[in-house]
Structure 1
Amino acid sequence: MLDQVFTQISFIDVFNFCVFLTFTICYTYQLYYVVVVLTRRPPERVAKKNHRFAAVISARNEAAVIGDLIHSIKVQNYPAELIDVFVIADNCTDDTAQVARDAGAIVFTRENDVEVGKGYALDYGFNIIRDKYADRAYEAYFVFDADNILDVNYFREMNKTFDNGALASTSYRNSKNYDSNWISAGYAVWFLREAKFLNQARLTLNTSCAVSGTGFFIASEIIEKNGGWKWHLLTEDIEFSANSILEGIRISYTPTAILYDEQPITFRDSWNQRFRWAKGFYQVFWHYGARLCKGIATNPKGSRFACYDMLMTIAPGMLLTIVSVLFNGIILTLGLTGVMSTGTMVASSLSSILFCVFNYVIFMFMFGVLTTFMEWDSIRSTTGKKVRYMFTFPFFMLTYIPIALVALVKKCDWKPIRHSISMDVTELAPAKKREEVSAGR
């Protein structure tokens, strides 16, 4: 009797159930993050003193936007004498270096077509700063991308985090061009979701966050310890995060420090950027995955969960969806071509594909809706577009599936993303802050 029951269970259904169960077990904790954000407030900080910082910007052909970022740093509600701006003009063919100098930055030009990428440019810049500007005794370094613009209180808020003992911290990432189209809106919602429902929850629970490309600081002691910036994979930010967590360094988050950046608006640029990210996540998983697994069991108790959380961040979770779709697609194709029996097996494979994709779309739609409503006042757009892009967000995320699949087999070269949206900080500040920003206070 028992044998007859088992023979009726399709191995396809068993396989798909195992994939679904694995995904659920691994990522359900992130739903708890949502509960934490909805029910608890993050800790508030107060600074006892102002610290000395250096802002480091790697820029490649960014003449159209870099002046706006430097200006937004110059008008900070923070003592100007405590912030120096350094720009690494990396393999530029335009006048990025001159624009940055005219805006008040110290500029280093770099020409290197072998070691290509932001990580190498940052290392080059840090080495010069450590060599020629050691007497300025910077206590922490901020890393920005050239297309960023900072809220007028950005450094004041990040200083609070640093003054309370953080060795590294990321910040709240908003968008300059949410309403350009469904692609830029997809990026914007994803980063808002990351800030609100990942990093804010981690901060509240006193575990480690992760830096995400731009808008973060690193204590000078970390740079000195490593002899510069020593993380050179395609996603150098995630590599730094994984390495820091393994070394017991807790990365903090400052929800009141607001940064705006420019998102791609063409699918080609979006594909190239996310393809590099997907490839970079695979690289970090390959280099750090085993150590993070070990850290879950052997690290000091305060950082074991952080190791698990980071492992889930870099683990190719998207591959579970890809594997399920490919497996069922192959079975479906074999069934329809007559290689394997049709009927129940084909119907089972087709329903499994639809179930997998449908669940992914619904899950992303729910997160898109929740994020949009929670961050409604922070999103710079019309009500109509906010509602419309809640429905396009899951399809933006769905495009990650082919990108992640191609990244498994195709080599990735660093391709810069062109930025062209010039904005003054006063355009992004709330109305009540505009007079303060314009006055340079």
Structure 2
Amino acid sequence: MDSAASFINHFNLAVFLLFITLYAYQIVYMFISFKAKKKLRSESGRDPGRLHKFAVTIAARNEELVIGQLIQSIKNQNYPGELIDIFVVADNCTDYTARAAREAGAVVRERFSKNRIGKGYALNYIFQAIEKDYASNQYDAYLVFDADNLLDENYAARMNDVFNEGYRVITSYRNSKNFDQNWISSGYALWFMHEAEYLNLPRIFTNNSCAVSGTGFLVDADLIKENGGWIHHLLTEDIEFSVSQVIKGDKIGYCRDAVFYDEQPVTFKQSWTQRLRWAKGFYQVFGRYGKNLFRSIFKGKQNKFSCYDLAMTIFPALLLSFLSIVVNGSFFLAGIFEFMEAEETMKATMTAMFQSLGWMYGILFILGFLTTLTEWKEIHCPGWKKVAYTVTFPLFMLTYVPIAAAALFKDVQWKPIAHTVVKSVDDVR
């Protein structure tokens, strides 16, 4: 039994060291972020006098409750109104999304398809419609949002500044409309803030590429033309787009002063469905682009570290945690069936399992705590909730482990998430 206990301890240590080896750079990123926060200020780009013309694109499916607030926040921008046009694709809608968007002042196209389902197809549809019917407007870039988003009044101006620095793709600071609803919505919100300030900020500060995360990003109109439209249709079209562009040599920028607010799921069923799609989509992207990413790490002429960074982003590392749980659980069950002779094996296995969970909880707590501390003023809810949700954040993140395992075997289809939080930017604040 001593050998079994020794094996469990060594196995868990090996898994832990592998995690540390693969993701140690993200610990370094956190220290870089502290330095970057002190140095970077709200500054305009290298050509602050140039104001670009933007086409705002919104893919919406049954979003009649919230789309009006997004369009109003776009109209409230501290940016010349004649340089922003708003386009909505009402995608397979069965409600009054199209009517609500038109009444709010957007140009609306309705799309219906039983076979081509998903945001990627909707984006391609609206990009093609703009190119066909509004080519004379000569847009410099597209701003891409989901219908449940809200924009800070300086969003367009700040994105314009960074666009003047030469980036062809730019992501922004993702805040949340409903941080304070429960442990699920706050879990999402804290992670997106962490992603913005502790991944994308140090990436841009060290001249590496960021990654697009779902919504709230800018893409150069010429890039869309070069690609022949929006050609990314895996379950996570955002990370597919990011990986594809970085392999080609593009560096994705980050504008921390362009703030938008996103609505997060509040039930575990909604969250499971959404994150199951994300996990499956990451597997799809890894299967399609993983080989080229790893090749670019060693043989590419540029973006080598960015390729490694994105490879680790889509690498199915959570399966290592699941494997660890399976191995530890198997030894524990074996100990039960061997009765009294297995007492030491069971004790060692239980100790190892609790130690592993403790380490994971502790690391995730530190991530959530630091993010809460540095982004305190950006989190719009009572102070006691901010503290409480720092404690529940690791639990939210640990639920990714069974989700990642289920996604490996389950056939996952794109499904819409209902959005019902009707707020203005002032309401959120």
TM-score normalised to structure 2 length: 0.95
CA deviations over 1:94-140 (Å, ceiling 9, x no partner): 00001001111111100001111101111111111111111111111
Judged with a 3 Å threshold, the aligned counterparts in structure 2 of structure 1 residues 42 and 305 are, in CA distance, closer, same or farther, namely farther
Number of corresponding residues:
423
Range with bigger deviation, 413-422 or 340-349: 340-349
Separation in structure 2 between the aligned mates of residue 29 and residue 219 of structure 1, nearest angstrom: 30
Separation in structure 1 between the aligned mates of residue 283 and residue 55 of structure 2, nearest angstrom: 31
SS of the equivalent of 1:178 reads: coil
Judged with a 3 Å threshold, the aligned counterparts in structure 2 of structure 1 residues 317 and 42 are, in CA distance, closer, same or farther, namely farther
* Residue pairs, 1:257-336, within 5 angstroms: 257-301=258-302, 303-336=303-336
Separation in structure 2 between the aligned mates of residue 67 and residue 340 of structure 1, nearest angstrom: 66
* Residue pairs, 1:90-129, within 5 angstroms: 90-129=91-130
SS of the equivalent of 1:10 reads: helix
Separation in structure 2 between the aligned mates of residue 423 and residue 7 of structure 1, nearest angstrom: 60
SS of the equivalent of 2:416 reads: coil
Unaligned runs of 5+ in 1: 1-5, 430-441
CA deviations over 1:334-363 (Å, ceiling 9, x no partner): 221129972443333222221221111111
Range with bigger deviation, 330-339 or 105-114: 330-339
Q: How many Å apart are 1:426 and its aligned residue?
A: 3.0
Question: CA contact under 8 A between 1:179 and 1:385: conserved in structure 2?
Answer: yes
Tell me what 1:156 maps to.
157
CA deviations over 1:272-313 (Å, ceiling 9, x no partner): 111111111111111111111111011124x00000000111
1:15 to 11, 14, 29: 11
Judged with a 3 Å threshold, the aligned counterparts in structure 2 of structure 1 residues 341 and 219 are, in CA distance, closer, same or farther, namely farther
SS of the equivalent of 1:180 reads: coil
* Residue pairs, 1:54-69, within 5 angstroms: 54-69=55-70
Tell me what 1:387 maps to.
387
Separation in structure 2 between the aligned mates of residue 374 and residue 117 of structure 1, nearest angstrom: 35
Tell me what 2:366 maps to.
366
Range with bigger deviation, 253-262 or 402-411: 402-411
Separation in structure 2 between the aligned mates of residue 9 and residue 384 of structure 1, nearest angstrom: 42
Tell me what 1:45 maps to.
44
SS of the equivalent of 2:342 reads: coil
Question: CA contact under 8 A between 1:86 and 1:106: conserved in structure 2?
Answer: yes
SS of the equivalent of 1:342 reads: helix
Range with bigger deviation, 340-349 or 273-282: 340-349
Question: CA contact under 8 A between 1:42 and 1:200: conserved in structure 2?
Answer: no
SS of the equivalent of 2:180 reads: helix
Judged with a 3 Å threshold, the aligned counterparts in structure 2 of structure 1 residues 31 and 134 are, in CA distance, closer, same or farther, namely same
**Identity score, percent:** 49
Letter in 2 for 1:24: I
Tell me what 1:439 maps to.
none
Range with bigger deviation, 344-353 or 141-150: 344-353
SS of the equivalent of 2:266 reads: coil
Q: Would you say 1:196 and 2:197 are equivalent positions?
A: yes
SS of the equivalent of 2:261 reads: strand
CA deviations over 1:228-252 (Å, ceiling 9, x no partner): 0000010000000111110010000
Separation in structure 2 between the aligned mates of residue 289 and residue 348 of structure 1, nearest angstrom: 37
Range with bigger deviation, 305-314 or 283-292: 283-292
Separation in structure 1 between the aligned mates of residue 243 and residue 341 of structure 2, nearest angstrom: 47
CA deviations over 1:194-233 (Å, ceiling 9, x no partner): 1110011111111000010000011011100111000001
Separation in structure 1 between the aligned mates of residue 337 and residue 31 of structure 2, nearest angstrom: 48
Separation in structure 2 between the aligned mates of residue 159 and residue 10 of structure 1, nearest angstrom: 58
Question: CA contact under 8 A between 2:5 and 2:345: conserved in structure 1?
Answer: no
Q: How many Å apart are 1:25 and its aligned residue?
A: 0.4
Question: CA contact under 8 A between 1:325 and 1:356: conserved in structure 2?
Answer: no
CA deviations over 1:73-94 (Å, ceiling 9, x no partner): 1110001111111101000000
SS of the equivalent of 2:189 reads: helix
Separation in structure 2 between the aligned mates of residue 180 and residue 409 of structure 1, nearest angstrom: 32
Question: CA contact under 8 A between 2:272 and 2:403: conserved in structure 1?
Answer: yes
Separation in structure 1 between the aligned mates of residue 329 and residue 4 of structure 2, nearest angstrom: 21
Separation in structure 2 between the aligned mates of residue 173 and residue 421 of structure 1, nearest angstrom: 16
SS of the equivalent of 1:58 reads: strand
* Residue pairs, 1:141-290, within 5 angstroms: 141-290=142-291
Q: Would you say 1:413 and 2:384 are equivalent positions?
A: no
Q: CA RMSD in A?
A: 1.7
TM-score normalised to structure 1 length: 0.93
Q: How many Å apart are 1:427 and its aligned residue?
A: 2.7
CA deviations over 1:385-428 (Å, ceiling 9, x no partner): 11111111111111111111111111111111100111123334
Question: CA contact under 8 A between 2:179 and 2:186: conserved in structure 1?
Answer: yes
Unaligned runs of 5+ in 2: none
Separation in structure 1 between the aligned mates of residue 146 and residue 243 of structure 2, nearest angstrom: 21
Question: CA contact under 8 A between 2:5 and 2:344: conserved in structure 1?
Answer: no
Separation in structure 2 between the aligned mates of residue 198 and residue 283 of structure 1, nearest angstrom: 22
Q: How many Å apart are 1:17 and its aligned residue?
A: 2.3
Q: How many Å apart are 1:8 and its aligned residue?
A: 9.4
